[in-house]
A and B are shown apart, each in its own frame.
Chain A
């Protein structure tokens, strides 16, 4: 069963904590993306990776970090430097034709 998985579905963070969101895909896609979505808003790009061991900042990268050690995995760390991290986080991978497929999302809440 091919697709994109994200875990956990819900995540709670205390002030000053770093947390890592998981994203895995078995679609053999080279490009992967992280987006943030706030209530009633569109998707804003945090980071993206076109190939293993390479990634670029998106529009709102401050306070976030990523790694791309394997083609299948693109974890996102929300650091304590991100002052307003409560949001819905979406991971996606892209076909060579440009079509993006999304995971189910992780809802992060700061306590």
Chain B
């Protein structure tokens, strides 16, 4: 079946560097995408979202890029900090469908 997934299960980043986390999706009908951050033992926390009528959206230190041609989503974190260490999930939604589909997650570890 169609699902959302991430390219790499783990990512190690030097503090201060930029991080790029990737996500591939296969459902061409998906029109809304969200990135979540989950710290150990806690619930996922909303980071940023993007709709399919956009290619790029920026937040505070984060940027989400959407390439609908190749069905690819990425999350860029600028100047990665130790507090950014967590599991990052992408999720997709189809218009008029109440359900989100989640990928398996990428574990980001920030090296001091």
Q: Which of A4, A6, A48, A102 contacts B99 (CB 8 A)?
A: A48
User: A31's closest neighbor in chain B, by CB?
Assistant: B98
Residue pair A94, B98 in contact (C-beta under 8 Å): yes
Q: Does B83 contact A (CB under 8 A)?
A: no
- The verdict on B74 contacting chain A, using a C-beta distance below 8 Å, is no
| Dominant secondary structure of chain B at its interface with chain A | strand
A2 contacts the other chain (Cβ, under 8 Å)?
A: no
- Among the stretches A12-20, A37-45, A62-70, A73-81, the one at the interface with B is A37-45
Residues of B within 8 A of A102 (CB): 36, 43-45
A11 CB to closest chain B CB (Å) equals 14
Distance between B22 CB and nearest chain A CB, rounded to angstroms: 15
A6 to B44 CA separation, bound complex (whole angstroms): 13
Taking the closest CB of chain A, its distance from the CB of B50, in whole angstroms, is: 11
Option from A31, A43, A45, A104 in Cβ contact (under 8 Å) with B42: A104
Residues 76-91 of A at the B interface (beta carbon under 8 Å): 90
How far apart are A34's CB and chain B's nearest CB, in angstroms?
Answer: 12
The answer for the CA separation of A105 and B43 in the assembled complex, in Å, is: 6
User: Given A42-B102, A42-B104, does the pair A99, B49 have CB atoms closer than 8 Å?
Assistant: yes
Number of interface residues of B (CB under 8 A): 20
Chain A interface size range: 20 to 34
Docked complex Cα distance between A107 and B51 (Å): 33
Bound Cα distance A101, B44 (Å) = 8
Assuming A41-B105, A50-B98, A105-B41, what are 19 further A-B pairs, CB within 8 angstroms?
Answer: A31-B98, A33-B99, A40-B104, A42-B105, A43-B44, A43-B102, A45-B99, A48-B99, A58-B99, A90-B43, A98-B32, A100-B34, A101-B46, A102-B36, A102-B44, A103-B43, A104-B42, A105-B42, A107-B41
Chain B 53-72 interface 0/1 with A at a Cβ cutoff of 8 Å (1 = within): 00000000000000000000
The digit string for B67-87, where 1 denotes a CB below 8 A from any CB of A, is: 000000000000000000000
0/1 string, B87-112, CB within 8 A of A gives 1: 00101010000111011110000000
Among A45, A58, A98, A100, chain B packs the most CB atoms within 10 A around the CB of: A98
